Protein backbone atom coordinates (compact mmCIF):
# COMPACT_ATOMS: atom_id res chain seq x y z
CA UNK A 1 0.00 0.00 0.00
CA UNK A 2 1.10 3.54 -0.77
CA UNK A 3 -0.13 6.59 1.11
CA UNK A 4 -0.23 9.85 -0.83
CA UNK A 5 -0.56 13.32 0.54
CA UNK A 6 -0.84 14.77 -2.96
CA UNK A 7 -1.15 12.92 -6.22
CA UNK A 8 -1.55 13.00 -9.97
CA UNK A 9 -4.03 10.82 -11.92
CA UNK A 10 -1.36 8.35 -13.01
CA UNK A 11 -0.81 7.35 -9.37
CA UNK A 12 -4.23 5.66 -9.35
CA UNK A 13 -4.26 3.73 -12.63
CA UNK A 14 -5.25 0.08 -12.09
CA UNK A 15 -5.24 0.45 -8.33
CA UNK A 16 -7.88 0.60 -5.67
CA UNK A 17 -7.88 4.10 -4.22
CA UNK A 18 -8.98 4.75 -0.65
CA UNK A 19 -9.90 8.41 -0.12
CA UNK A 20 -9.72 9.77 3.44
CA UNK A 21 -10.87 13.14 4.78
CA UNK A 22 -11.44 12.37 8.45
CA UNK A 23 -12.45 15.98 9.30
CA UNK A 24 -15.00 15.85 7.83
CA UNK A 25 -15.99 15.10 4.24
CA UNK A 26 -15.56 11.34 4.16
CA UNK A 27 -17.07 11.05 7.66
CA UNK A 28 -20.11 12.96 6.41
CA UNK A 29 -20.39 10.75 3.31
CA UNK A 30 -20.11 7.52 5.30
CA UNK A 31 -22.73 8.77 7.78
CA UNK A 32 -25.17 9.86 5.06
CA UNK A 33 -24.84 6.51 3.26
CA UNK A 34 -25.27 4.65 6.54
CA UNK A 35 -28.42 6.68 7.23
CA UNK A 36 -30.04 5.68 3.96
CA UNK A 37 -29.46 8.44 1.42
CA UNK A 38 -29.93 7.26 -2.16
CA UNK A 39 -26.56 8.51 -3.42
CA UNK A 40 -24.04 11.29 -3.04
CA UNK A 41 -22.76 13.29 -5.99
CA UNK A 42 -19.43 14.89 -5.02
CA UNK A 43 -18.56 18.05 -6.94
CA UNK A 44 -15.63 20.44 -6.70
CA UNK A 45 -17.32 23.82 -6.99
CA UNK A 46 -20.42 25.50 -5.52
CA UNK A 47 -21.59 26.59 -9.00
CA UNK A 48 -21.43 22.97 -10.25
CA UNK A 49 -23.60 21.87 -7.33
CA UNK A 50 -26.18 24.57 -8.04
CA UNK A 51 -26.36 23.81 -11.74
CA UNK A 52 -26.69 20.06 -11.14
CA UNK A 53 -29.55 20.78 -8.73
CA UNK A 54 -31.43 22.71 -11.41
CA UNK A 55 -31.98 19.45 -13.33
CA UNK A 56 -33.53 17.61 -10.35
CA UNK A 57 -36.96 17.73 -8.68
CA UNK A 58 -36.70 19.87 -5.54
CA UNK A 59 -37.96 17.14 -3.20
CA UNK A 60 -35.44 14.55 -4.44
CA UNK A 61 -32.16 16.21 -3.46
CA UNK A 62 -30.29 18.09 -0.76
CA UNK A 63 -27.40 20.47 -1.30
CA UNK A 64 -24.64 19.92 1.24
CA UNK A 65 -21.12 21.09 1.94
CA UNK A 66 -18.99 23.86 3.33
CA UNK A 67 -16.63 26.66 2.60
CA UNK A 68 -14.40 27.74 5.48
CA UNK A 69 -16.08 24.94 7.44
CA UNK A 70 -19.57 26.49 7.44
CA UNK A 71 -22.86 26.21 5.55
CA UNK A 72 -22.79 27.59 1.99
CA UNK A 73 -25.43 30.25 1.36
CA UNK A 74 -28.57 28.70 -0.15
CA UNK A 75 -27.54 25.13 0.76
CA UNK A 76 -29.67 22.74 2.85
CA UNK A 77 -26.90 21.19 4.96
CA UNK A 78 -23.37 22.03 6.04
CA UNK A 79 -20.58 19.46 6.15
CA UNK A 80 -21.47 18.35 9.67
CA UNK A 81 -22.09 14.56 9.71
CA UNK A 82 -24.50 15.13 12.62
CA UNK A 83 -26.93 16.91 10.27
CA UNK A 84 -27.14 13.87 7.96
CA UNK A 85 -29.64 11.93 10.10
CA UNK A 86 -31.90 9.31 8.55
CA UNK A 87 -35.04 11.47 8.81
CA UNK A 88 -33.24 14.16 6.79
CA UNK A 89 -31.38 12.10 4.17
CA UNK A 90 -33.39 8.89 3.65
CA UNK A 91 -33.95 8.28 -0.08
CA UNK A 92 -32.39 11.60 -1.10
CA UNK A 93 -29.66 12.43 -3.58
CA UNK A 94 -27.07 14.60 -1.86
CA UNK A 95 -25.02 16.97 -3.97
CA UNK A 96 -21.92 17.64 -1.87
CA UNK A 97 -19.10 20.13 -2.28
CA UNK A 98 -16.34 20.60 0.29
CA UNK A 99 -13.02 22.43 0.26
CA UNK A 100 -10.72 19.42 -0.01
CA UNK A 101 -12.61 16.13 0.39
CA UNK A 102 -14.87 16.14 -2.66
CA UNK A 103 -11.96 17.42 -4.78
CA UNK A 104 -9.78 14.51 -3.62
CA UNK A 105 -12.51 12.02 -4.60
CA UNK A 106 -12.78 13.55 -8.08
CA UNK A 107 -9.02 13.56 -8.43
CA UNK A 108 -8.97 9.79 -8.01
CA UNK A 109 -11.42 9.30 -10.91
CA UNK A 110 -8.95 7.26 -12.99
CA UNK A 111 -8.59 4.59 -10.29
CA UNK A 112 -9.82 1.04 -10.81
CA UNK A 113 -12.07 1.40 -7.76
CA UNK A 114 -12.60 4.30 -5.35
CA UNK A 115 -13.49 3.59 -1.72
CA UNK A 116 -14.63 6.26 0.73
CA UNK A 117 -12.97 5.81 4.11
CA UNK A 118 -13.20 7.51 7.49
CA UNK A 119 -12.48 6.42 11.05
CA UNK A 120 -16.17 5.48 11.24
CA UNK A 121 -15.92 2.62 8.70
CA UNK A 122 -12.26 1.73 8.99
CA UNK A 123 -12.80 -1.98 9.62
CA UNK A 124 -15.12 -2.42 6.64
CA UNK A 125 -12.43 -0.88 4.40
CA UNK A 126 -9.67 -3.06 5.86
CA UNK A 127 -11.82 -6.22 5.57
CA UNK A 128 -12.36 -5.44 1.90
CA UNK A 129 -8.63 -4.91 1.26
CA UNK A 130 -7.84 -8.17 3.05
CA UNK A 131 -10.35 -9.92 0.83
CA UNK A 132 -9.31 -8.52 -2.59
CA UNK A 133 -5.54 -8.49 -1.91
CA UNK A 134 -4.82 -5.87 -4.58
CA UNK A 135 -2.46 -2.91 -4.81
CA UNK A 136 -4.04 0.08 -3.13
CA UNK A 137 -3.28 3.78 -2.92
CA UNK A 138 -4.52 5.75 0.08
CA UNK A 139 -5.19 9.38 -0.76
CA UNK A 140 -5.33 11.85 2.14
CA UNK A 141 -7.42 14.92 1.34
CA UNK A 142 -5.56 17.25 3.71
CA UNK A 143 -6.69 20.72 4.70
CA UNK A 144 -6.55 24.10 3.08
CA UNK A 145 -4.57 26.50 5.24
CA UNK A 146 -3.26 29.96 4.42
CA UNK A 147 -4.03 29.50 0.73
CA UNK A 148 -2.26 26.16 0.26
CA UNK A 149 -3.34 22.59 0.88
CA UNK A 150 -1.65 21.05 3.92
CA UNK A 151 -0.98 17.59 5.24
CA UNK A 152 -3.49 16.67 7.99
CA UNK A 153 -2.68 14.45 10.95
CA UNK A 154 -6.31 13.31 11.30
CA UNK A 155 -6.15 11.71 7.84
CA UNK A 156 -2.87 9.96 8.60
CA UNK A 157 -4.30 8.53 11.82
CA UNK A 158 -7.14 6.96 9.82
CA UNK A 159 -4.57 5.51 7.40
CA UNK A 160 -2.87 3.88 10.42
CA UNK A 161 -6.20 2.51 11.62
CA UNK A 162 -6.76 0.86 8.20
CA UNK A 163 -3.23 -0.48 7.86
CA UNK A 164 -3.27 -1.91 11.41
CA UNK A 165 -6.10 -4.19 10.27
CA UNK A 166 -4.41 -5.46 7.08
CA UNK A 167 -2.74 -8.85 7.27
CA UNK A 168 0.90 -8.80 6.11
CA UNK A 169 0.65 -5.52 4.20
CA UNK A 170 3.62 -4.41 2.07
CA UNK A 171 3.61 -0.67 2.81
CA UNK A 172 5.54 2.48 1.95
CA UNK A 173 7.14 4.74 4.54
CA UNK A 174 4.25 7.19 4.95
CA UNK A 175 1.90 4.23 5.52
CA UNK A 176 4.38 2.86 8.07
CA UNK A 177 4.67 6.21 9.83
CA UNK A 178 0.86 6.36 9.94
CA UNK A 179 0.73 2.92 11.51
CA UNK A 180 3.27 3.83 14.20
CA UNK A 181 1.45 7.06 15.01
CA UNK A 182 -1.88 5.28 15.24
CA UNK A 183 -0.53 2.50 17.47
CA UNK A 184 1.05 5.00 19.83
CA UNK A 185 -2.02 7.26 20.11
CA UNK A 186 -5.10 5.19 19.40
CA UNK A 187 -6.37 5.37 22.97
CA UNK A 188 -6.21 9.17 23.13
CA UNK A 189 -6.68 10.67 19.69
CA UNK A 190 -7.92 13.97 21.11
CA UNK A 191 -4.69 14.45 23.02
CA UNK A 192 -2.72 13.82 19.82
CA UNK A 193 -4.89 16.18 17.76
CA UNK A 194 -5.08 19.08 20.19
CA UNK A 195 -2.44 21.08 18.32
CA UNK A 196 -3.65 20.17 14.82
CA UNK A 197 -4.74 22.95 12.50
CA UNK A 198 -8.14 21.76 11.28
CA UNK A 199 -9.09 20.05 14.57
CA UNK A 200 -8.52 23.36 16.38
CA UNK A 201 -10.27 25.33 13.66
CA UNK A 202 -13.43 23.18 13.78
CA UNK A 203 -13.59 23.47 17.56
CA UNK A 204 -13.10 27.24 17.34
CA UNK A 205 -16.15 27.58 15.07
CA UNK A 206 -18.35 25.45 17.34
CA UNK A 207 -17.95 21.95 15.90
CA UNK A 208 -16.53 20.07 18.93
CA UNK A 209 -19.38 17.52 18.64
CA UNK A 210 -18.39 16.83 15.02
CA UNK A 211 -14.79 16.23 15.98
CA UNK A 212 -15.87 13.81 18.73
CA UNK A 213 -18.16 12.03 16.29
CA UNK A 214 -15.60 11.75 13.47
CA UNK A 215 -12.90 10.26 15.73
CA UNK A 216 -15.05 7.25 16.67
CA UNK A 217 -13.53 4.07 15.32
CA UNK A 218 -15.48 1.43 13.39
CA UNK A 219 -19.09 2.34 14.16
CA UNK A 220 -20.48 1.72 10.64
CA UNK A 221 -20.03 -1.50 8.71
CA UNK A 222 -20.34 0.00 5.24
CA UNK A 223 -18.14 0.40 2.18
CA UNK A 224 -19.20 3.38 0.07
CA UNK A 225 -17.79 3.40 -3.46
CA UNK A 226 -17.53 6.21 -5.99
CA UNK A 227 -18.47 5.02 -9.46
CA UNK A 228 -19.72 6.85 -12.54
CA UNK A 229 -20.01 10.17 -10.73
CA UNK A 230 -21.94 9.00 -7.67
CA UNK A 231 -21.19 7.45 -4.29
CA UNK A 232 -23.35 4.55 -3.15
CA UNK A 233 -23.11 2.12 -0.24
C1 LIG B 1 -12.88 19.54 3.47
O2 LIG B 1 -13.36 18.91 2.51
O3 LIG B 1 -11.95 20.34 3.36
C4 LIG B 1 -13.36 19.32 4.88
O5 LIG B 1 -14.21 18.27 4.96
C6 LIG B 1 -13.65 20.59 5.60
C7 LIG B 1 -14.61 20.47 6.76
O8 LIG B 1 -14.22 20.14 7.87
O9 LIG B 1 -15.80 20.71 6.58
ipTM given for this complex: 0.96
Asked if residues 199 and 154 have their Cβ atoms less than 8 Å apart, the reply is yes
CB of 155 closer than 6 angstroms to any ligand 1 atom: no
CB of 101 closer than 6 angstroms to any ligand 1 atom: yes
Shortest-distance atom of ligand 1 to CA 144: 3
pLDDT tens-digit map of 74-126? 999 999 999 999 999 999 999 999 999 999 999 898 899 999 999 999 999 99
pLDDT tens-digit map of 45-67? 999 999 999 999 999 999 999 99
CA of 133 to the centre of ligand 1 (A): 30
CA of 203 to the centre of ligand 1 (A): 13
For 190-217, letters b (16+ CB in 10 Å) and e give eebbeebbbbeebbeeebeebbebbbeb
Q: What are phi and psi of 187, to 5 degrees?
A: -85, -10
Alpha helices (runs of H) in 80-228, residue ranges in sequence order? 86-89, 101-107, 122-132, 153-163, 173-185, 189-193, 197-204, 208-214
Burial class from Cβ neighbours inside 10 Å (0-12, 13-18, 19+) for residue 136 reads: buried
Domains of the chain (ranges plus CATH)?
2-232 (3.90.1560.10)
Amino acid sequence: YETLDSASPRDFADKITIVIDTLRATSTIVTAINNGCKEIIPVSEVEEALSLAQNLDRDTYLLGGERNGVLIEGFDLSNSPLEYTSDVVKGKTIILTTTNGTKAIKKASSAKEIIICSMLNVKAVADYLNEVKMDAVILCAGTEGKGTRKFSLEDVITVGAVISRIDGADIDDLSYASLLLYRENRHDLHNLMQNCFHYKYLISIGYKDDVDFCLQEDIFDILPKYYNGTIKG
